[in-house]
Structures are given as structure tokens and as C-alpha cells.
């Protein structure tokens, strides 16, 4: 695996113009303990006849330098605050990292299916930042030329600086600067907004937070060596749900819902419930094992007033559906969909304020026991990011692990690709249950 990609050059890219030298405080939501890792995207582009590779590389490096002017914190370094809780960014134009590499054997079509192993595609982002608070660059971009002339662009972004929506806004900005086919007058570059003080918990107020209303931070008893059960011998899987299959899931959810045919569920609610139930049944937890489905909920428009357009910091809280393995299996897709729907409905302004206090004062962090995490990348628009190579042929993670991702499907805006790694012993049953929504 180590020889599947050969690095030609790694360089530090600094902003193309002078940027403020300052220290910026991150918000309570940015500073959460469980966000101290790197978001890693992988975008693959089909071969372009007559493509000038050296010119494309130079163009991407130049665009990155320009993008780092308005997004100058991405050229800084994240560290713990020396005089209190939370994190901050030291902005001194230290720079991001750009890597150019060449694949020895990968072609664009190799990304049609899930990788054979969890870390098979790791060489496509060869600089993996394990600790985002020890002076590492918060942004790494690797351009890898594949053997058929296609291109893979992997991006690693420090999650403390932004969420999925924020990272997608940055990548669109970067892409528009890199795309020579776009005329400047038609570029829809949105001004990035920092304003992290808007998500800072109020000081001097005693807030009584009911732990029962925040199951995402509570612990459940481990009745089955849960982490060993879900993290050992993982095999990546990928299953696509088109419009027909999603509508079928909604029909099944209504027929098995406590509200019957009156129930109305979104595609996310039914698909998340179906994946959760299929995953749990395939692995085979004890019936009384408490299980949670955890997923992000964008709060930009759930706050009053809402956050300004262009805010690219972490602006989400965790929704959490919880039940026993037995109830999840016996209740059907409708039961699980109802749990997901109600978890979303709990999130309002007061809920967000409680979360900010919980993570700021109590250092609240989700416990992994009993948890399946679902992250919805299918709504970020990553498939439309065009750096001058056309729209992405494949969008996904650099590494496929036990966290479930909903991914976009090219040219099919309604379809969703579900990618998650499950224990090898559970793969066949997982596929069976996922394809049989009526079981």
C-alpha cells in the first residue's frame, strides 16, 4: 500500500496577499472535545483529453494561495487557549500544505466501489494530521494524478475551524478561483464570516441542564464489549438508494409507524433509521443493549437571530435517537424513523444554548458505547466542486471506517450512497437487511 502513490513534491502555501496577524478565539461548538480531528474529503475527476498537468498543478496552488486570503485562519495554527477553556487560532500566515503525487495503479473507475480495506486510499492524503492541536497545518490538499490521466484531490481540514457546510463553502471558493473557464464577473464567491462570538455561552448565568434531554452526552451500560464488537475486522461497504428505493422506504416506514399512514418522514429520517436497524441486526447485539443513532443538525437557521450568511464555523449540534436493540428490530423502520424525527424536533434555541454550556463548562463529549454516527455529506454540494476538471466523478472519504456517511451520487440529485465499514462477519447480513426494507 505504501508504494501505491509516490509523492513528487510537498510545499507550504501561504496567502497570496498580506493577512491579519492576530489570535482568534474559537466558539464553544468549535472547541468540543470530539471535533479535534481532521475532516478528510476525496474528490475524483475523470481524465480530460489534452490536460496540461504541470499547468493544472500550478493553477491549483495559485488558487489555494488566493483562497487563503479571505480564509486566512486556514493558514494559521490551532491551539488550546493558555488562559481558559476553549481553543484559539494563531494567525500569522504560517501556511497550508499542498502535495502533488502520482498513483502507481489507481484509475478513476477503481472508486466506483467501496475500498477493499478501511485505509486503502490513505496514500491519497499522505500527510495525515493525528493531533490537530500540536502546531500542524489545519489544511492539507493533495493532488494525485492517476494512471489513466484522471485526478484525485484529497483535502484534510481541521474540524475545529469549520463544519461540513463551512468546509464546502471554502472548497467552492477555492474551486472558483482555480477554474479558468469561469469569468470573474460570474463568480459567486461568498464573503466568509468569522463571528465566533455568536456561539459563545453567556457568562455569569447559572443554567440547569436536564441530562435526560441530552442523551447524546449520556453513557449507556456496555453489555457486549461494544467497541470490540463494532471496530474489529472491519470491511467497507457501499450501497446506493435511488428515488424508487427511498420512496419504498417511506412507504414501509408509514406502515410500521405508530402514527400509521398519517406519518410523514424525510428521506434522511427513513434512510438513517433503516441503516441503523440493519447495522444493529447484522452485528447482533443483545436485545437489552441500549443503542444510539447520533447525527448532526445544522442550527444556522434554528437560532434567533440566525447566523449570518457565510458563517463557516461549526454550527451544528448532535441529534440523538435512543432505544434498545430489541425495540429497534421489532419496531420496524417506522419506529426508528419516528425516533430520528423526534430527535430533530427537540433542537431549538434553548437546546443549542444548553449544548454550548454543556461542552464549555462540563467538557461534555459523546461516549462511543452503543453509538452509530451518521454524517450527511450528500447535501453539501461536494459533487459540484469544479476546479477546471469538470464535476467530481466520485465523492467520498479518504478512509472508510465505522462512521456511516451519506454520499452524493453523480448526476442523481435524489440518490444517496451509504458508506460504512462493518465487521466482516456481519457484511452479508448487513447487505441482506439493507436491500430488504420489508424484513
User: In this structure, are residues 339 and 323 in contact, taking their beta carbons and an 8 Å threshold?
Assistant: yes
- State how far the Cα of 400 lies from the Cα of 398, in Å rounded to an integer: 7
Residue 128 a catalytic site member: no
Which residues have CB under 8 Å from 171's CB, separation 6+? Answer: 41, 155, 382, 385
For the chain, helix, strand, coil in percent to 5 are 35, 25, 40
Extract long-range pairs of 179-187: CB within 8 Å, 24+ residues apart: 179/386, 179/387, 179/388, 180/59, 180/388, 181/388
Residue 386 a catalytic site member: yes
What is the enclosing helix (H) or strand (E) of 270? helix 267-283
Report the phi/psi class of residue 346: left, alpha or beta, with left for phi > 0 and alpha for psi in -120 to 50: alpha
CA-nearest of 381, 375, 362, 278 to 319 is: 375
C-alpha cell at 349: 434555541
Q: What are the residues facing 166 on neighbouring strands?
A: none
Task: Check 30, 110, 163, 386 and give the catalytic one.
Answer: 386
Task: Check 30, 110, 159, 274 and give the catalytic one.
Answer: 159
Which residues are designated catalytic?
159, 386
Amino acid at each position: 500500500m505504501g508504494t501505491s502513490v509516490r509523492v513528487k513534491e510537498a510545499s507550504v502555501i501561504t496567502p497570496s496577499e498580506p493577512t491579519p496577524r492576530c489570535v482568534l478565539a474559537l466558539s464553544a461548538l468549535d472547541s468540543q472535545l470530539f471535533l479535534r480531528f481532521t475532516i478528510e474529503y476525496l474528490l475524483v475527476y475523470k481524465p480530460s483529453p489534452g490536460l496540461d498537468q504541470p499547468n493544472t498543478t500550478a493553477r491549483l496552488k495559485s488558487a489555494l494561495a488566493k483562497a487563503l486570503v479571505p480564509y486566512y485562519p486556514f493558514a494559521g495554527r490551532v491551539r488550546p487557549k493558555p488562559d481558559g477553556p476553549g481553543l484559539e487560532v494563531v494567525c500569522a500566515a504560517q501556511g497550508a500544505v499542498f502535495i502533488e503525487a502520482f498513483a502507481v495503479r489507481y484509475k478513476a473507475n477503481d472508486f466506483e466501489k467501496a475500498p477493499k480495506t478501511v485505509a486503502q486510499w490513505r496514500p491519497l492524503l499522505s500527510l495525515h494530521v493525528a493531533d490537530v492541536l500540536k502546531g500542524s497545518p489545519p489544511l492539507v490538499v493533495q493532488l494525485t494524478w492517476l494512471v489513466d490521466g484522471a485526478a484525485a484531490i484529497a483535502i484534510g481540514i481541521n474540524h475545529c475551524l469549520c463544519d461540513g457546510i463551512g468546509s464546502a463553502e471554502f472548497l467552492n471558493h477555492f474551486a472558483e478561483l482555480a477554474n479558468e473557464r469561469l469569468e470573474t464577473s460570474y463568480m459567486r464567491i461568498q464573503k466568509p464570516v468569522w463571528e465566533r462570538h455568536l456561539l459563545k455561552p453567556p457568562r455569569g448565568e447559572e443554567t440547569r441542564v436536564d441530562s435526560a434531554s441530552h442523551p447524546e452526552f449520556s453513557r449507556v451500560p456496555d453489555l457486549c464489549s461494544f467497541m470490540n464488537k463494532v471496530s474489529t475486522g472491519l470491511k467497507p461497504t457501499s450501497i446506493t438508494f435511488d428515488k424508487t428505493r427511498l420512496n419504498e422506504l417511506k412507504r414501509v416506514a408509514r406502515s410500521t409507524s405508530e402514527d400509521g399512514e398519517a406519518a410523514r418522514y424525510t428521506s434522511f429520517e427513513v434512510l438513517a433509521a433503516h441503516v441503523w436497524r440493519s447495522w444493529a441486526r447484522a452485528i447482533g447485539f443483545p436485545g437489552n443493549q441500549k443503542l444510539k443513532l447520533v447525527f448532526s443538525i445544522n442550527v444556522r437557521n434554528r437560532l434567533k437571530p440566525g447566523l449570518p450568511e457565510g458563517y463557516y464555523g461549526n454550527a451544528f449540534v448532535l441529534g440523538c435517537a435512543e432505544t434498545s436493540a430489541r425495540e429497534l428490530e421489532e419496531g420496524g423502520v417506522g419506529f426508528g424513523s419516528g425516533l430520528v424525527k423526534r430527535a430533530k424536533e427537540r433542537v431549538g434555541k434553548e437546546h443549542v444554548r444548553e449544548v454550548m454550556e454543556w461542552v464549555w463548562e462540563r467538557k461534555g463529549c459523546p461516549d462511543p458505547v452503543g453509538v452509530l454516527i451518521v454524517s450527511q455529506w450528500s447535501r453539501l454540494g461536494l459533487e459540484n466542486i469544479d476546479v477546471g476538471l469538470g464535476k467530481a466523478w466520485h465523492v467520498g472519504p479518504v478512509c472508510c471506517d465505522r462512521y456511516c456517511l451519506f454520499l452524493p451520487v453523480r448526476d442523481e440529485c435524489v440518490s444517496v450512497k451509504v458508506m460504512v465499514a462493518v465487521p466482516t462477519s456481519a457484511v452479508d447480513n448487513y447487505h441482506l437487511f439493507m436491500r430488504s426494507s420489508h424484513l
